[in-house]
Copies of this chain bind each other. A is one copy, B any other.
Amino acid sequence: MGPQKTSYADLLIIGAGPAGLVAAYWASEYGLDARVIDDKPDRVTKGHADGITCRTMEMFDSFGIAGQVYEEAALDYQIRYWRLNAVGRLDRAQSINSQAAGICRFQQCLLSQGRIEELLEDRISRGKGRLRVERDVETLRLTLHQRDDPDASAETHPVQVNVRHGRSGGGCMGDGDDDDHVEETIRARYVIGADGAHSWTRRQLGLTMRGEQANHVWGVVDLVAVTDFPDIRQTCVVCSEHGNLHVVPRERGMVRLYVQLDDDGVNPSAAAELRSEATLETILATAGKALRPFLLECARLDWWSVYQVGQRIADRFSAGECVFLVGDAIHTHSPKVGQGMNVSMQDSYNLGWKLGGVLKGQLQSHVLETYETERRPVAESLIAVDQETVAFYAARGENVATRDLQCFRERHYAFLSGVAIQYEGSALVYAPSAIELATGIQLGRRMPSYRVINYADARPTELASKLASDRRWAVILFAGDLRQATQLKRLEEACAALLRSRLLRTRGSSKLVTITASPRDSLPLTGLPPLLYCRDGENDGHGQENRNYEVVFSDEPDVYGAFTDVYAKYGVDREKGCLVVCRPDQHVGFIGALEDVPGLDVFFTGIFRDS
């Protein structure tokens, strides 16, 4: 046994897959004393997940990596449904939009998990915390110390994780350490278990998965094909008498095939047998038969695997209020709906900023309870949609002609896009909110983005660009029509109230964004309350460097006449305006009138710690 060492960290993230890395993104943004460990010596480069929903693209955009993802990904505009026609020949029955119109400025797309991890890691290493993943770190024991343990660190660092560093060396252990297998005791305030379907963390905590056992077996293969199938560059669902096949286009001319190997579900032991017997040849032969009369041969294999998947959810998402599980560690399902990586990353996107806020002393620790209350319903919906989807596709041959993929997809569009996820009322979603003031904004959902006009220079700007994941809460003032003296006065009074409010006492935690309903020429920027455009919140006499020209907008046509009418889109009264607050994860937490700064203060009082 090598030398021992005890280290302390505020946050330990176990697992550097997509879910772990999104947690690491937040840790980096908050500048946490955090570590990310993974038991594998190298990053995954081939295979695994690949579907990216438009909500995930919004999240990537808020991290600043959407452009790169978009450039490399295969974009998914249309799903094609192939089935046997009246004379028993495989035929294109329906072309269905992959995504509902107008729900998002991004399009869902496909890119390999390994590349996504690489882009995330690169972004994190360039972030505030310059966090790096430590690989080849084997986890040995997780101990949850009671807060009143005699152990000196139990109060502050209740989680103990013993690990062993592999040959490739732990970054934290210093250079030139000759011993191959250094052991280390990591004491952490919080731990995130992002270690997948077979989660070591979950097993250490003794949590169990509930739901159907693993009764579906899928072959998955990434390859370069020789084929005359005309829709090889589109997402396809192929239902033939020889079985079901999903065709998924991928980057660099590859195609992914999902091939169902079980016949409409089998019992777990039969599934295990099916899995152990499955070979690449079985998968390709099944796929080839399903696609007849089209040719399908493998010109170059990239990766293949067999999945045996149950539809299950963990009984609890956390333990001891200090260990949290995310991603596949708490929900498993079939790959049919292309959601796994997305829901997993969104788990961490939800949890990470809450942990960051608590560790930075900004937020009260009870906000961590909302992690499970917000994410469990999403996991349950995921399982439900997955079950329906598996059932929909399972029936073979004769009766699929009666099925309408369009109708089926339309029922699930909203969930599958990710943009309709809505969190219930809680400390973080202010239930008494006056939601009738913004009928186009759903309390608890992510804030939709539209183009507004920069007040200072007329540049059309996506509102989302103001909601980057920079850990700040966004207070969006729909200022209304400032040509009316009474409305300008209301705005001034709202700003005066904001200056006295908790919002500004926790400065650095929030950002103000203003959208006027009146045109920019009707009142100069300097006619607005200085709070809205001055960096110091007060004085416009300090010159342009004290001004922020990027936070005040108007809702008016651009110089070429194109008018978004965002007040109508958000359902906000152009005369009266309102206040909308977005959490760091872009979900709407509060809606109120301009007079309702006291209500906003009540909301923040329930969340923020006194500073």
Binding site for B on A (CB under 8 A): 67, 74-75, 77-78, 92, 95, 97-98, 101-102, 224-228, 230, 232-234, 249, 253-255, 297, 299-300, 456-459, 521, 524-526, 540-545, 547, 549, 558-561
Kindly state the separation between the CA atoms of A46 and B102 in the bound complex, as whole angstroms: 43
Query: CB-nearest residue of chain B relative to A298?
Result: B543
Known A-B contacts: A78-B559, A255-B544. Give 5 more (CB < 8 A): A97-B559, A224-B543, A225-B543, A233-B549, A253-B545
Q: What's the number of copies of this chain in the assembled complex?
A: 2
Contact A230:B458 (CB < 8 A) given known A254-B544, A299-B544, A544-B253 = no
What would be 26 A-B contacts, judged by CB atoms less than 8 Å apart? A67-B67, A75-B459, A77-B457, A77-B458, A77-B459, A77-B558, A97-B560, A101-B560, A102-B560, A224-B544, A224-B545, A225-B543, A225-B544, A226-B542, A226-B544, A227-B543, A228-B540, A230-B524, A230-B525, A232-B544, A234-B456, A253-B547, A254-B544, A255-B544, A297-B543, A299-B543
Kindly state the separation between the CA atoms of A210 and B119 in the bound complex, as whole angstroms: 55
The residues of B that contact A230 with a CB separation of less than 8 Å are: 524-526
Q: Decide: A458 and B544 in contact? CB cutoff 8 A.
A: no
Kindly state the separation between the CA atoms of A228 and B227 in the bound complex, as whole angstroms: 67
Kindly state the separation between the CA atoms of A225 and B458 in the bound complex, as whole angstroms: 20
What distance in Å separates the Cβ of A541 from its nearest Cβ neighbour in chain B? 7
Kindly state the separation between the CA atoms of A255 and B547 in the bound complex, as whole angstroms: 13
Q: Decide: A234 and B78 in contact? CB cutoff 8 A.
A: no
The residues of B that contact A226 with a CB separation of less than 8 Å are: 541-544
Kindly state the separation between the CA atoms of A226 and B67 in the bound complex, as whole angstroms: 37
Query: CB-nearest residue of chain B relative to A540?
Result: B228
The residues of B that contact A77 with a CB separation of less than 8 Å are: 457-459, 558-559
Say which residue of B299, B457, B524, B545 sits within 8 Å of A300 (CB atoms).
B545
Kindly state the separation between the CA atoms of A230 and B300 in the bound complex, as whole angstroms: 63
What distance in Å separates the Cβ of A94 from its nearest Cβ neighbour in chain B? 12
Query: CB-nearest residue of chain B relative to A524?
Result: B230
What distance in Å separates the Cβ of A102 from its nearest Cβ neighbour in chain B? 8
Kindly state the separation between the CA atoms of A297 and B525 in the bound complex, as whole angstroms: 18
The residues of B that contact A233 with a CB separation of less than 8 Å are: 456-457, 549
Query: CB-nearest residue of chain B relative to A252?
Result: B545
Most B CB contacts (10 A, CB to CB) among A255, A521, A525, A559 go to: A559
List the 7 closest A-B pairs by CB distance, nearest first. A299-B543, A230-B524, A233-B456, A226-B543, A77-B458, A233-B457, A253-B544
The residues of B that contact A543 with a CB separation of less than 8 Å are: 224-227, 297, 299-300
What distance in Å separates the Cβ of A554 from its nearest Cβ neighbour in chain B? 13
Kindly state the separation between the CA atoms of A539 and B459 in the bound complex, as whole angstroms: 49
Query: CB-nearest residue of chain B relative to A525?
Result: B230
Q: Decide: A95 and B253 in contact? CB cutoff 8 A.
A: no
The residues of B that contact A544 with a CB separation of less than 8 Å are: 224-227, 232, 253-255, 299
The residues of B that contact A526 with a CB separation of less than 8 Å are: 228, 230
The residues of B that contact A227 with a CB separation of less than 8 Å are: 543-544
Say which residue of B92, B225, B457 sits within 8 Å of A249 (CB atoms).
B457
Query: CB-nearest residue of chain B relative to A527?
Result: B230
Q: Decide: A521 and B95 in contact? CB cutoff 8 A.
A: yes
Kindly state the separation between the CA atoms of A558 and B549 in the bound complex, as whole angstroms: 36
Query: CB-nearest residue of chain B relative to A547?
Result: B253
Contact A78:B458 (CB < 8 A) given known A299-B545, A543-B224, A545-B224 = yes
The residues of B that contact A97 with a CB separation of less than 8 Å are: 559-560
The residues of B that contact A297 with a CB separation of less than 8 Å are: 543
Kindly state the separation between the CA atoms of A97 and B560 in the bound complex, as whole angstroms: 8
The residues of B that contact A253 with a CB separation of less than 8 Å are: 544-545, 547, 549
What distance in Å separates the Cβ of A536 from its nearest Cβ neighbour in chain B? 14
The residues of B that contact A456 with a CB separation of less than 8 Å are: 232-234
Contact A75:B299 (CB < 8 A) given known A225-B543, A230-B525, A233-B549 = no
The residues of B that contact A225 with a CB separation of less than 8 Å are: 543-544
Kindly state the separation between the CA atoms of A542 and B456 in the bound complex, as whole angstroms: 56
